[in-house]
Amino acid sequence: MWLAVLALALIAGAFAAIHGMHMFQLNSYNPWGHLRWLGRHRGGLISPIVVLLLGVATLVWPLPVAIVLAIWLALAAWLGRPRRSQAKKPLVYTARVIRMFATIAVLMAALVVATTLTPDRWRYLVAVLPFVLSPLWVIVANAINAPIEAGVRRHYLNDAKRILASHQSLIKIGITGSFGKTSVKYYLATLLKGHFSVLMTPESYNTPMGVTKTIRADLRATHEVFVCEMGAKRPGDIAELCDLVHPGIGVITAIGEQHLETFGSQAAILATKLELARSVAGSGLVYLNGDNDILRANQPDQPRQLYGLRPDNDTYAYDLAVGVDGTTFALNHRGTTLAGLTTPLIGAHAIQNLAGAIAVAIDLGVTETELRAQLRRLAPAPHRLAMSHQGGVTIIDDAYNSNPAGAKAALDTLCLFDGIRILITPGMVELGERQDALNQEFGAQAAVCDHVYLVGAKQTGPIAKGLLGAGYDTTKLTVVEDVRAALSQAYALPGAAKAILLENDLPDNY
DSSP state of 324: T
Q: Report the CATH number that the domain containing residue 354 is assigned in CATH.
A: 3.40.1190.10
119 shares its domain with 231: no
pLDDT digit of tens for each residue in the chain (510 aa)?
888 888 999 999 999 999 999 989 888 888 988 888 888 888 888 889 988 888 888 888 888 888 888 888 888 888 887 765 565 678 889 899 999 999 999 999 999 999 999 988 898 889 999 999 999 999 999 999 999 999 999 999 999 999 999 999 999 999 999 888 999 999 999 999 999 999 999 987 889 999 999 999 999 999 999 999 999 888 899 999 999 999 999 999 999 766 666 677 888 889 999 999 999 977 789 999 999 999 999 999 999 999 999 999 999 999 999 888 889 999 999 999 999 999 999 888 899 999 999 999 999 999 999 999 999 999 887 778 888 888 789 898 888 777 888 888 889 889 888 889 999 998 888 777 788 899 999 999 999 999 999 998 878 899 999 999 999 999 999 999 888 899 999 999 988 789 999 998 765 545
Domain end residue (candidates: 355, 375, 395) = 375
155: in domain: no
Residue 466: burial class (beta carbons within 10 Å; 0-12, 13-18, 19+): buried
Q: What is the biggest distance separating any 2 CA atoms in the chain, rounded to whole angstroms?
A: 87
381: in domain: no
> Distance (Å, rounded) from C-alpha 482 to C-alpha 459?
12
Amino acid at 123: R
337 shares its domain with 422: no
71 shares its domain with 171: no
333: in domain: yes
Q: Are 372 and 312 in contact (CB under 8 A)?
A: no
329 shares its domain with 215: yes
Domain end residue (candidates: 375, 397, 414) = 375
130 shares its domain with 225: no
DSSP state of 41: T
> Distance (Å, rounded) from C-alpha 387 to C-alpha 374?
19
Contacting residues for 335 by C-beta, under 8 A, at least 6 apart? none
Domain that holds residue 16: 2-148
Distance between terminal CA atoms of the chain?
Answer: 38
Which region holds residue 203: left if phi is over 0, alpha if psi is between -120 and 50, else beta? left
284 shares its domain with 399: no
**Do strands 477-480 and 451-455 pair parallel, antiparallel, or not at all (unpaired)?**
parallel
> Distance (Å, rounded) from C-alpha 440 to C-alpha 424?
15
Q: Are 229 and 182 in contact (CB under 8 A)?
A: yes
341 shares its domain with 207: yes
510: in domain: no
210 shares its domain with 345: yes
Q: Looking at the 3D structure of the chain, how many domains does it have?
A: 3
Q: Report the CATH number that the domain containing residue 461 is assigned in CATH.
A: 3.90.190.20
344 shares its domain with 245: yes
- The pTM for the full model equals 0.83
Element (H, E) at 365: none
496: in domain: yes
